[in-house]
Structure 1
Amino acid sequence: MDVDYEEIAYKIVHMCARIREDETVTIMGREDNLFYCELIALACSKLGALPHVAVRSDTYALHRATETSLEYLRKTPRHIKALIQNSDVIITVSFLFKDPALSSRIPEERYSAERSGNKPIKDIIFDGHRRWVGTDFPTPEQAASYGVDFEYYHDTFWQAMNIDYPALASRAEDLAVVLRGAKVVRIFSPKGTNLSLSIEGRRINKDDGVIDEEDVKRGDPYLNLPSGEVCMAPLETSANGKVVFDIGFWQGQKIKDLEVEFKDGRVTPLGAREGLDIFVKVLETSEGDKDRIGELGIGLNPAVKEAIGDTLLDEKIIGTIHLAIGENRNEGGINNSTLHWDLLVEKATVEVDGRVIMREGKFSLDIV
């Protein structure tokens, strides 16, 4: 599949982020996608906005994380904090390492220290006063870490970026209408998930490909690309029951069939077919409300058919739900943590106030 990166950059700037003349834009990427970041910056410049591009290599990130002290990693760079404070829009083009095999060589306590140092910056990004677009750029190394063919991964990613956004927005609003004003959500799955939680009084967020004025007024000026989900922050003490997560990833490391129990919103790991030690270590080294229910999301992107391993894609699959633990203030919650971790449940059945809206991965509503 050929990708017109210039056209996509134009859409990100003009349609998705709705950047305007004289706005300041910070674009953060990787060494391998510098050309793509610069296309986004050029699209900003042509309309009169003021972009700044910052990229780093996997090699630098690895050496910085492994060859400096934990005290150093916990420091917050004052100049970067000031840059973000003075940005109207932030565009992140680097959720992952180009090669996740390198990131898996960084000890978790060092990742935790880095997250602590970066947290004041993330708090500014997600304070509701700036627009943020989070996306990535698929690589052969990422595909290898997921155990999938690169051509398939590449094509799925870019097809998911190039969907009918007005249709997605309509689909997301149809689902949001059902969830607004709802109280209790119950989730089941064939592998044994049986969870109850409350969304009473919580904001319903639509990740529909566009940051519009309604999103800004609601305090939700954030966007993933690929887009395609409706999400919310459950009441943090409301989750009770068992969840079996089919798949999750952490810094290139895979977790399969992770079984956990929620009690009054707090998670306890019970077992996993693969990767239990990863989950336990991340919880141990993270800070704040790391073990609290943080998010419930329902996927809506028609171009993503099956789980690949890239959370940015997998959480958008129609017929899946994902739950996150940890930080959730940008979703409308109150958790304050260095951790926000999305994990996937496939073939879910979802009840909203007793009404089945999804049965084993198929919507019962006329929205897809």
Structure 2
Amino acid sequence: MRNRYAVTSGLVGLLLSAGSAFGQNYEQIAKQIVNTSAGVKPGELVMITGGRHTMPLMEAIAVEVARVGGQPTMLVNTDKVARAVNVEMPESAIMASKDDSWLLSSDVLITLPSLEDSKAVLAGMTEARQGKFDKAAAEAGLSKKLDASKLRGVFVAYPSKSYAANQQLDYPSYEQMIWAGIGTDYTAVAAQAQQLKQLLTTGKKVHITSPAGTDLTLQLASRPVFTDDGVVTTADQQEKLIYSRTANLPGGRVYGTCQESSATGRLAASPATWNGKPLQGLKGELKNGQLTNVRADVGNDDVQKWLAANDASVAQVGFFSIGLNPAMKSEAQKGYNPATAAGMVYVGTGNNALLGGTNQATSGNSFPIANATVEVDGTVVVRNGQLVSPTLAKASSGGKK
């Protein structure tokens, strides 16, 4: 549920999400990424990042970038190095990257997961230590720099057997689902996304309920609403905010911020993971936007340590998302809740500056709400975890192994 990154690798973590790749035809998926999703043009500087386990696809992407006339550069991380930075480096040495010019000077960032086994890499990471990384990153002001840059990006998920094992997922089924998710009919997804974006852009109030006990209301504040349909279009490339210039594969979400002091009611999160460990039965009360009286049946100690290590702004509700991809499926009881799964709802707390919000907290979190019902000004858009609009029902999965 929480995404943790060292400051050096956290830059690429800004592009959201985690998962798996598009089968083993790397040349084919590289063409999709470079030409369709990223729209790489001759002469553009393209930074390709990932881990050692993602090298086959990274290489195929770099080759395709060169073939269309771009300038590819690859940046590779390993689990061993990541663990040294995250857990073993002296705390006195924790600071923001001294050189983010490689990112800010690039035209395109195509990033794959840098960690193969994040649970092993981050084992032993304390809330206090993570707080120092978060503070260093916040003080560097990267969010504003990214918004002001010309950068656009695509995050491509990639299969990891260790990730599937940590989530207790059947790896072949998980892998096939991700490929199918990337191959979804994004024309249909984009149509659904635009419908919801229009409703949320002009709407005033969002009401979210669930059988587990969630019953909360958010006030919209004429903030930007983002859609992720797997492609950074020419129009997207002209947008001011970095999240409007990014896409994910698998894609399929609509998301945005709410008035930070507006959330009221109750939150009952679906089972998830926290620092690689189970988190179950998390509940809290919402008043004036603040999540209070937070308790979990399983994983409560880690939650309390996180709250204690940060100021109150990390528990202020400030963003939400609705998944749109019909190929992506959650396994809620195992804590696997892909944000792109059709009908999956997330509510987030903490920093929302990159989304056009006002919360400048050094950290944040997001909570899945499975089987949710969502109303926008009384119009039901999700009912019991199912998208209501008929448009998405026409979307079909095109991914093949």
Normalised to the residue count of structure 2, the TM-score between the two structures is: 0.84
Deviation at 1:58, TM superposition (A): 0.9
1:348 aligns with 2:372: yes
Q: Quick check: 316-325 or 126-135, which moved more? A: 126-135
* Counterpart pick for 1:15 among 36, 39, 50: 36
Structure 2 counterpart of 1:318:
342
Does the 8 A contact of 2:278 with 2:299 survive in 1?
Answer: yes
Deviation at 1:121, TM superposition (A): 7.2
Quick one: which amino acid aligns to residue 221 of structure 1?
Answer: R
Aligned equivalents of 1:127, 1:133: Cα separation in 2: 18
* Counterpart pick for 1:78 among 98, 114, 135: 98
Structure 2 counterpart of 1:337:
361
Does the 8 A contact of 2:227 with 2:254 survive in 1?
Answer: yes
* Counterpart pick for 1:110 among 119, 123, 129: 129
Deviation at 1:95, TM superposition (A): 6.2
Aligned equivalents of 2:239, 2:101: Cα separation in 1: 25
Aligned equivalents of 1:83, 1:106: Cα separation in 2: 28
Does the 8 A contact of 1:328 with 1:335 survive in 2?
Answer: yes
What are the Cα deviations for residues 208-260 of structure 1, in whole angstroms up to 9, with x where unaligned? Answer: 11111332334311222211111011111111111111033333223123112
SS in structure 1 of the partner of residue 371 of structure 2: coil
Deviation at 1:137, TM superposition (A): 1.6
1:366 aligns with 2:385: no
Aligned equivalents of 2:317, 2:236: Cα separation in 1: 23
Equivalent runs, 1:300-315 vs 2, <5 Å: 300-307=324-331, 314-315=338-339
Aligned length: 365
Does the 8 A contact of 2:206 with 2:377 survive in 1?
Answer: yes
Aligned equivalents of 1:194, 1:95: Cα separation in 2: 37
Aligned equivalents of 1:18, 1:282: Cα separation in 2: 40
Alignment RMSD (CA, Å): 2.3
SS in structure 1 of the partner of residue 202 of structure 2: coil
Aligned equivalents of 1:325, 1:224: Cα separation in 2: 21
Quick one: which amino acid aligns to residue 43 of structure 2?
Answer: D
Q: Quick check: 104-113 or 23-32, which moved more? A: 104-113
Structure 2 counterpart of 1:198:
219
Aligned equivalents of 1:40, 1:274: Cα separation in 2: 41
Can you give the 5+ residue segments of structure 1 that lack an aligned partner in the other structure?
none
Quick one: which amino acid aligns to residue 111 of structure 2?
Answer: T
Quick one: which amino acid aligns to residue 101 of structure 1?
Answer: A
Aligned equivalents of 1:115, 1:44: Cα separation in 2: 33
Does the 8 A contact of 2:78 with 2:115 survive in 1?
Answer: no
Does the 8 A contact of 1:248 with 1:342 survive in 2?
Answer: no
Normalised to the residue count of structure 1, the TM-score between the two structures is: 0.91
SS in structure 1 of the partner of residue 268 of structure 2: strand
Deviation at 1:342, TM superposition (A): 2.4
Deviation at 1:14, TM superposition (A): 0.9
1:265 aligns with 2:281: no
Using the aligned pairs only, state the percent identity. Answer: 29
Equivalent runs, 1:91-106 vs 2, <5 Å: 91-94=110-113, 96-106=115-125
Deviation at 1:2, TM superposition (A): 4.7
Quick one: which amino acid aligns to residue 278 of structure 2?
Answer: K
For residues 122 and 260 of structure 1, do their structure 2 counterparts lie closer, same or farther at Cα, with a shift above 3 Å needed? farther
Aligned equivalents of 2:238, 2:307: Cα separation in 1: 34
Quick one: which amino acid aligns to residue 176 of structure 2?
Answer: D
SS in structure 1 of the partner of residue 346 of structure 2: strand
Aligned equivalents of 1:127, 1:342: Cα separation in 2: 26
Does the 8 A contact of 2:23 with 2:179 survive in 1?
Answer: no
SS in structure 1 of the partner of residue 357 of structure 2: coil
What are the Cα deviations for residues 135-159 of structure 1, in whole angstroms up to 9, with x where unaligned? Answer: 3322111111101111122111221
SS in structure 2 of the partner of residue 343 of structure 1: strand
1:41 aligns with 2:65: no
For residues 55 and 126 of structure 1, do their structure 2 counterparts lie closer, same or farther at Cα, with a shift above 3 Å needed? farther
Deviation at 1:287, TM superposition (A): 6.7
Aligned equivalents of 1:142, 1:211: Cα separation in 2: 28
Aligned equivalents of 2:71, 2:23: Cα separation in 1: 29
Structure 1 counterpart of 2:107:
88
* Counterpart pick for 1:133 among 146, 154, 168: 154
